[in-house]
Amino acid sequence: MILPVVVYGHPVLRKVAEDIDRDYDNLSKFIEDMWETMYHADGVGLAAPQVGVPVRLFVIDGSDLANDHPELMGFKQTFINARIVEEDGLPMTDYEGCLSLPGIREEVTRPSRIRIQYVDEKFNPHDEVYEGFAARIIQHEYDHIEGKLFVDYLGPLRKRLIKGKLNAISVGKVDVSYRIKVAR
Ligand code: NI
């Protein structure tokens, strides 16, 4: 089932999300809906708060970007109860967008290497290191479960320049191909 995507201005995007356990209601159906919603909206990642559910779960499929970023070849993963335990490497800058911020693309600087601990959809534990664009996508999705958005990293000038766009998004005045949900 394709779920509506919560957009900028909705308070659920600002919550620090909660861990879940393996008995979480309808977990496999929820994960299935997350994938379906992400692919329908042409996203490379989607976090549960973006469909209005403040739990520590996100899905990523970076394989469409593997031509530009070889480290994304075959990178498809469900992350549950994730904790980034190390961030290092040279800071790198690249453009980011977000399904919750349609029409906005801005440069964001992030550490290029992370170590993350999480469980997958079967609750098998993982402790992994990611670099490059894979690390960037994970950090972006991880921010969602920490109540952060990539526009938080912009300087005051860029923030001022996109303020009008953000206001328009928050009231749903935006042209998107997927169903959205605004705060009310
Ligand atoms: Ni996002």
Q: Which residues of the chain have pLDDT under 50?
A: none
Q: Which residues surround ligand 1, an ion (CB under 5 A)?
A: 98
Q: 127 alpha carbon to ligand 1 midpoint, in Å?
A: 23
Distance CA 68, CA 23 (A): 39
Q: 143 alpha carbon to ligand 1 midpoint, in Å?
A: 8
Q: What is the pLDDT of residue 184?
A: 77
Q: Closest Cα to residue 41, out of 95, 94, 96, 102?
A: 102
Q: 74 alpha carbon to ligand 1 midpoint, in Å?
A: 20
**Which tokens hold the place of 162?**
């996109």
What does 24-83 look like in DSSP terms, one character per residue?
A: -TTHHHHHHHHHHHHHHTT-SEEEGGGGT--BSEEEEE-GGGTTT-GGGTT-EEEEEEEE
Contact by Cβ (8 Å): 137, 62: yes
The 10s digit of each residue's pLDDT in 117-163 is 999 999 999 999 999 999 999 999 999 999 999 999 999 999 999 99
The residue written with tokens 């860029």 in the block is 158
Q: 97 alpha carbon to ligand 1 midpoint, in Å?
A: 7
Rg of the chain over Cα atoms, rounded to whole angstroms, equals 16
Q: What is the pLDDT of residue 5?
A: 98
- Torsions phi, psi of 92, nearest 5? -125, 145
What domains, with CATH codes, occur in the chain? 5-170 (3.90.45.10)
Q: Which residues are catalytic?
A: 141
